[in-house]
Chain A
């Protein structure tokens, strides 16, 4: 069944191809030989995972009971999925010391084994191309953040397909960030995932070298929520779910990453493309659908994506350095950090949480005595703030209070229209500065260790990118173009 649907799209009208209906279900994914599809479907009391053989349209259910979701194929024909079974009430499970969570299982040749275990959530897994590693989203480790009313993060972890201890691939020093649905490119070089940077943010697609995921860039624009990325066999393009204002709902988009172009392919979600690159698989209204990718592409107009520019290759000598101080000191300097990319870093140890804000370092200009500051608020949360042109502050905040007596490395970076805070090398927060930074017209005076009880050491700053902080990449850099 192929129906041409005329739909308003951006500047013109496009023809969307409705796919052939395969089965009731969602989150379908092709096996490596392209002959089968693993998918999830509603079952009494939960979800179950099944495998559809395309030639016969027969479905074999892999799970029974609980909820099983997010299947992914390994090259050897195994299927990894997330499994959740919660027969007890939450209170009873805590009282009984349950360690049951939502964890990964692997099915192969009729047998099932547990891959991960713990009182957290492991989900949305995918295999590395060689089948040796499984990447997945996880809330493991989020107990680092006991507070903040339940706001959590989700990280990317990896575990050997044979089992064992998992390792962190990408984590944030923040409650408000999440990276889910990791998808590794067919050549194993690039990792893509869905990323959200805070409660007021939207899901977006992030891409990085698999070897340095912290240096990621977002490839989708802020006005287009997007998730569920999957690479095409060519390793340059990907499909994902996204929505733009004129769309009738979630749609399947194809993004050419190095070219910075995208096309809307269908109304639906959770796409995948067959290993031969010819067939698009997605779901819509609880039905799995497939369509000819080339035909679909031919009917879809191209939209140019705004290209994130590479972060400028900042280099230079530190503009200032202060070795160590426990008391308030002032350091007149000949620098104007308001005009350019800028960073300030230090190590800080608090004796106690300040009653008001405690300043680790601030820059006093003629126009403002707090043009920038790295500080700890009255809850012990670290922050890096800069004053905007209208006099208001934009601050990047840490996710959790600093622990007294422990030494932290804090880095505040301002590049372009953003300020970033890193805690112990991990990105904690990033904020846009919509109004631009208040430009200084006179040299700055550093004020260090003010209103706080503790120690500030190794204070440095200037116009170079800190060596220990991964510099965000860009699609062009990723593809060497």
Chain B
């Protein structure tokens, strides 16, 4: 081994040791949000996004693979031609300058491959951020496969279908998702992160499809109940669980080691909406090794005790996981009842750097494996906040009171 190779070896070992012991800082990236700043359909634009995002001190990047079911890589499964609006008339076009004219599915070279290669060069871990949705609250994000298969669309209790999502109750839908998973695995992600926060307005109330109705009738001998009935939630939950089991088995069958993370939303002291609205039993998935870790995407703290109640909610997740890693949120914006750090600033009167430091310390003190920065967009995390995150040493006990 010559001297150069020796130094490289020492460096790589050092990096690996640091990474194993580090408090992981995950950045979730939606390249679409940079589209008016950089030319995000190019290699140079992808590099600029990563340059910018890594100012936060992130050591893991989770790259969004889709807008709804409109793919941001060269997908064979989601027919590329029909992702172009308005070549499919069932997709109402979006016409905003830049955003309405992006064609991520057609970019050469493949964007996800470009981003992953850049992460590897930079020594940053990489993965896929896959929202648990087929739409992103917009018509133009519906996928070609969805639009071609109305027979699998979800359906409400009145029998009215909705194109917002195909139901996992149909084996054909599960097979389609696994083909998409294959496309992602071909790009060799280290992590695949399923995000329950982004669910495209879909709930268990949209799951009155024929296979669910028939299973209900076979089991209970009555017409399906209201979607708030715990037995209905459990029934829909079986198909959600089957999806995660299939994902785990599929990855194993390919002989790959890919970390599966699951994002849970609106963690509160009361109702667990991940279960009651989405039918996803994240505790069971974690306990039974169907996922490798949980990302807390948002919590609902007590406004009277913002930090203390936040710590309690984080701890409640930790206690439910039986030792599985979990990640705590750092979110730059408030969204739909989900408090980002601006909410804590307002609740406490503290500056954002102080709030973020506090949230980091809470995460560390409750034993989190790290943080997940919800959508690092262009300049949304201020330089001062980036500095706090970058410099935060997750291995030391803090002085939080």
Contacts and interface: CB of A to CB of B under 8 A. Distances in A.
Q: Is chain B found bound to chain A in the same assembly?
A: yes
Interface of A: 42, 46-47, 67, 69-70, 82, 84, 86, 89-94, 102, 119-121, 123-124, 137, 139, 142-143, 146, 149-154, 178, 180-181, 194, 196, 199-200, 202-203, 222-223, 225, 227-228, 243, 245, 247-250
B92 A196 contact: yes
B81 A102 contact: no
What class of interface size applies to chain B in its complex with A?
A: 35 or more
B89 A124 contact: yes
B97 A151 contact: no
A90 B99 CA distance: 8
Given A90-B103, A152-B140, A222-B160, A227 B95 contact: no
Contact of A178 (B38, B92, B99, B148): B92
Nearest to B92: A178
Contact of B150 (A142, A146, A250): A250
Contacts of B102: 90
A86 B89 contact: no
A163 to B, nearest CB: 22
B316 interface: no
B35 A203 contact: no
Given A150-B99, A150-B140, A249 B149 contact: yes
B101 A93 contact: yes
B382 to A, nearest CB: 23
B137 A137 contact: no
A150 B92 contact: no
Pick the most buried of A89, A94, A200, A250: most chain B CB atoms within 10 A of its CB: A89
Contacts of B138: 149-151, 199
B155 interface: yes
Contacts of A67: 81, 84, 87
B85 interface: yes
A23 to B, nearest CB: 17
Given A47-B81, A67-B87, A223 B150 contact: no
Given A93-B101, A222-B160, A243-B150, A42 B87 contact: no
Given A90-B35, A94-B36, A152-B94, 19 more contacts: A67-B87, A69-B87, A86-B103, A90-B41, A90-B98, A92-B39, A94-B101, A120-B95, A139-B93, A142-B95, A150-B96, A153-B92, A180-B86, A199-B135, A202-B163, A223-B160, A245-B161, A249-B148, A249-B149
B101 A200 contact: no
B284 interface: no
Among B38, B90, B161, chain A packs the most CB atoms within 10 A around the CB of: B90
Contact of B35 (A86, A91, A120, A248): A91
A176 to B, nearest CB: 9
Interface in B12-43: 35-36, 38-42
Given A89-B39, A123-B89, A249-B150, A151 B94 contact: yes
Given A91-B35, A94-B98, A249-B149, A152 B160 contact: no
Nearest to B137: A199
Contacts of B159: 223, 245
B391 to A, nearest CB: 33
B201 interface: yes
A181 B99 CA distance: 24
Contacts of A200: 162, 164, 201
B161 to A, nearest CB: 6
Most buried by A among B45, B97, B103: B97
Given A47-B81, A150-B96, A152-B100, A123 B201 contact: no
Contacts of A93: 101
Q: Is the interface of A mostly helix, strand, loop or mixed?
A: mixed
Interface in B135-157: 135, 137-140, 148-151, 153, 155
Given A89-B41, A91-B41, A46 B81 contact: yes
Contacts of B93: 121, 139, 152, 154
B81 A139 contact: no
Given A150-B138, A225-B161, A245 B95 contact: no
Contact of A137 (B86, B87, B151): B86
Contacts of B149: 249
A150 B155 CA distance: 25
Contacts of A46: 81
B137 to A, nearest CB: 6
B228 interface: no
Contacts of A92: 39
Contacts of B97: 94, 119
B210 A245 contact: yes
B150 A149 contact: no
A89 B99 CA distance: 11
A121 B102 CA distance: 14
A84 B98 CA distance: 16
B45 A91 contact: yes
7 closest Cβ pairs, A-B complex: A90-B101, A91-B39, A243-B150, A89-B41, A150-B94, A178-B92, A139-B95
Given A200-B201, A245-B155, A223 B161 contact: yes
Given A139-B95, A199-B201, A121 B86 contact: yes
Contacts of A90: 35, 41, 98-103
Nearest to B95: A139
A150 B100 contact: yes
A78 B213 CA distance: 51
Contacts of B139: 151-152, 178, 196, 199
Nearest to A221: B160
Nearest to B159: A223
24 contacts: A90-B41, A91-B40, A94-B97, A119-B97, A120-B95, A121-B93, A143-B95, A146-B96, A150-B99, A150-B140, A151-B137, A152-B92, A152-B139, A154-B92, A178-B92, A196-B92, A199-B137, A200-B164, A222-B160, A223-B158, A225-B153, A225-B161, A243-B161, A250-B148
A146 B94 CA distance: 11
Given A90-B101, A249-B151, A84 B84 contact: yes
